Amino acid sequence: MPKYPTHPSLYDRVLKISITKLVGWGYLKPNQRINTNMVWSSNGETRGEIKILVDTTENDNMFIELDYKYKDQPRHYKINIVSTNSNLGKGKIYYFVCPHTQRLCRNLYSISGYFYHRRAFKGCMYECQTQSKKYRSLNSQFGSYFKSDNIYEQLHKKNFKKTYAGKPTKRYLKLTKQLELNKRRAIDYNEFERLLYR
């Protein structure tokens, strides 16, 4: 009897809350309470939306509260945030405390209706773990070249900032440098075909 295919949830494709994003948006500055909405979209369509409260009024008791519905069931819970001093001596590093596993993490993933640390879920994978050995080999050697389209797309996004205070942004410089590397890197098509058809 043939085995039924399994399709694991992929961490790369589910809704995610990133502590890096919260810091970048200025939500973790001290002594503030921010009520806002987080919206995830893809190709102009909304994939998800939640209400979020960020509270940093007490340095030893920072947290976010999430308020949303999952399959018409209300979800409302608190996720604590802790910080440590950066080993570079500049600023702090922030972490979520997963309400399910109590593990520290920088990203929370929404699988089966809750935003938790990735180890709270069984049978989930990153997309690269589902790829064949041949594909991984091709990607490791030629992947950056084929990602040029994605780089162009990022450079021409509506709100992408190429300059700040008259100087090129770090992100703009990084992307243009990657494009230059890809242009200079010649593809050995014989090697590409050998890997593709072996």
Identify whether residues 116 and 171 lie together within a single domain.
no
Tens digit of each residue's pLDDT (9 = 90 or more) over 159-196: 778 888 888 888 888 888 877 766 655 555 455 455 44
Identify whether residues 38 and 101 lie together within a single domain.
yes
Select from 71, 91, 120 the last residue of a domain.
120
- Domain presence at residue 126: no
- Whole-angstrom distance, CA of residue 19 vs CA of residue 95: 7
Query: What's residue 4's pLDDT?
Result: 39
Select from 120, 152, 173 the last residue of a domain.
120
Mean pLDDT across 29-39: 92
Identify whether residues 157 and 103 lie together within a single domain.
no
Query: What's residue 46's pLDDT?
Result: 76
- Whole-angstrom distance, CA of residue 57 vs CA of residue 55: 6
Predicted structure pTM score? 0.59
Identify whether residues 140 and 179 lie together within a single domain.
yes
Quick one: which of 118, 95, 109, 115 has its CA closest to 23? 95
Could you tell me which residues come within 8 angstroms of residue 158 by beta carbon, excluding any fewer than 6 positions away? none
Tens digit of each residue's pLDDT (9 = 90 or more) over 139-168: 555 555 556 666 767 777 777 788 888 888
Identify whether residues 162 and 72 lie together within a single domain.
no
pLDDT band at 5 (very low <50, low <70, confident <90, very high): very low
Domain span at residue 38?
Answer: 16-120
Select from 120, 143, 173 the last residue of a domain.
120
- Domain presence at residue 100: yes
Please report, for residues 95, 145, 162, 180, the alpha-carbon distance to residue 183 in angstroms, rounded to integers and kept in the order given: 38, 8, 20, 5
Identify whether residues 27 and 83 lie together within a single domain.
yes
Identify whether residues 79 and 151 lie together within a single domain.
no
- Whole-angstrom distance, CA of residue 126 vs CA of residue 109: 12
Q: How many domains are contained in the chain?
A: 2
- Domain presence at residue 4: no
Check whether 92 has a pLDDT greater than 80.
yes
Tens digit of each residue's pLDDT (9 = 90 or more) over 47-87: 788 999 999 999 889 999 999 988 889 999 999 999 988 87
